[in-house]
Chains A and B, each alone.
Chain A
Amino acid sequence: MLNRFEYIKPKTVDEVVFHLSRLGKEAKILAGGTDLFVQMKKKRASPRYLIDVVTVPELSQIEEEDGEVRIGSCVTLASIERSTLVKERFGSLWRAVQGIGSPQIRNMGTLGGNLCVETRCRYMDFFHPWGREISDKCFKRGGNLCHVVKGGDQCHAVMAGDLAGALMSLCSRVVIKGRSERVVLLEDFYTGEGKEVTRIEPDEFVTQIRIPFLPPCSGTSYLKYRWRESLDFPIVSAAAWVLKGPKQGIGEEIRVVLGALASAPIRLRRTEDLLRGKRVSDDIIEEAVHEGVKGIFMVSCLGVPVSYIRKMAQTFAVKAVREAYEAAH
């Protein structure tokens, strides 16, 4: 059973903004509902107002403009999956979308919703529902300690949504609308903290995602490692984009992003630096990823040992980079 709330169904973006500025933190945006209603049923969220944005026409469009594809935040995952534009231009995004949830989830869930999906946590998701309160309240429940990372000074719940990493590897930007409109790089969209995971203010919401067309000779890849082939969030995900230069085998530009390992997707900048402008081989990729992953702080949200996650992160990052190189021509 869902708690009672007041249901608001605005018709335009301006109306959404009006209601958000009026109601602030008491209101939540309702898109597909596949995550929000689960949180509400588990009594982890109890908004007094729900603002249903799915029927706002401006938010459900896919368009090409100014050298980029602009996808409305309420476009369903199934519509993205069916979009030939996305399939032909952004192979990694298409694969990431295909792997989300199940057909029903993709028919309901939206792009914006996936970027703002609630973070996952071993304590909150597995221990707390069974009524086991270990000791004091954790950050996510309004306390000031973390049960997963001992001595942690912030909430370490994990951002496990598939599209965050895939879109970050494609240099995407997010349009956020409040009293004014701002466009931020997806890299700057996440706080890196598990409780307030995005930088959206209470009176703002996401209206659009903008993905620049890839230059010719680009290759992309997205890999997702999980227990079951449907419904599960990733244990590790890896996204890569490679731009090959005029000289055979040399990658001019590269991006590698790991997902589901921390409160925000992790860009492997060291790996990118080591591979940029180099003639690559399997050994060089492996070495560069090894260097990039080294020292990166990772959290396990599924109860899997971090040492194992680290190995899988390494393995899947190497695979993703290799696939992106192969796809680039």
Chain B
Amino acid sequence: MKQPIETKINGISYRLEVEPHWTLLELLRNVLKLTGAKDGCGMGECGSCTVMMDGRAIYSCLTLAMRADGREILTIEGLAHGDELDPVQKAFIEHGAFQCGYCTPGMILSGKALLDQNPNPTDEEIKRGISGNLCRCTGYNMIVEAIRAASKKGVSRG
């Protein structure tokens, strides 16, 4: 039986009816058509479903939609301010930090979550920050470079 939740996704308040067994990823992709978060392994290993909940990166494939009740969710679709891309997004473009692009939304959000907590991370800290995201094209060097570049531009303006 569907149950009501109230949540804020990308700055917009929603009142939704969700099935208890839906994951947050299913809610985002199937109901709200926010397909930026990807359905990769579904087991919390690849990180392509990463979104932010109350400012922290989580795997939406292992989170119930019910858990979004009363929380704030940020997906890749909500990262830009109007036409102005987030510094992490800009840095990914400038540094060519994607090939096939499948891991990119998760990588960017993991990078963003890291920089919000730690605006000036070392390379080691950046690697730890994205250690829950896999890139099968193995473009890790550019991803680390992009996050490093975004950190210098002082990304943590929220």
**Residues of chain A whose beta carbon lies under 8 Å from any beta carbon of chain B:** 1-7, 9, 30, 33-34, 37-38, 41, 50, 52, 54, 78, 101-105, 107-108, 229-231
Contacts and interface: CB of A to CB of B under 8 A. Distances in A.
A50 B20 CA distance: 9
Given A30-B64, A104-B58, A105-B59, 20 more contacts: A4-B20, A9-B66, A33-B64, A37-B61, A37-B62, A38-B44, A41-B43, A52-B64, A101-B44, A101-B132, A102-B132, A102-B133, A104-B44, A104-B47, A104-B57, A104-B59, A104-B132, A105-B44, A108-B62, A230-B131
Contacts of B66: 7, 9, 52
Contacts of A1: 21
B110 interface: yes
A215 to B, nearest CB: 32
Given A104-B50, A104-B57, A7 B3 contact: yes
A64 B59 CA distance: 32
A103 B129 contact: yes
A229 B64 CA distance: 28
A133 to B, nearest CB: 21
A107 B57 contact: yes
A34 B57 contact: no
8 contacts: A4-B21, A5-B21, A34-B44, A34-B59, A103-B131, A104-B58, A104-B132, A231-B45
B57 A103 contact: yes
Contacts of B23: 2, 37
Interface residues of B, number: 30
Contacts, number: 78
A103 B43 contact: no
A75 B116 CA distance: 21
B95 interface: no
B42 A230 contact: no
A6 B20 contact: yes
Given A2-B23, A5-B21, A103-B113, A34 B62 contact: yes
Interface string B57-71: 111011110110000
B133 to A, nearest CB: 8
B58 A108 contact: yes
Nearest to A30: B64
A141 to B, nearest CB: 20
Contact of A102 (B3, B22, B43, B47): B47
Q: Which 6 A-B pairs have the closest CB atoms?
A: A102-B132, A7-B20, A230-B131, A104-B132, A2-B21, A107-B56
Contacts of A229: 131
B29 interface: no
Nearest to B44: A34
Contacts of B21: 1-5, 7
Contacts of B44: 34, 37-38, 101, 104-105
B128 interface: yes
Given A33-B62, A33-B63, A107-B56, A102 B20 contact: no
A9 B69 CA distance: 12
A35 B72 CA distance: 23
Contacts of A50: 20
Nearest to A4: B21
A50 B3 CA distance: 15
A7 B50 CA distance: 23
Contact of A103 (B22, B62, B132): B132
B108 to A, nearest CB: 14
A33 B23 CA distance: 11
B20 A107 contact: no
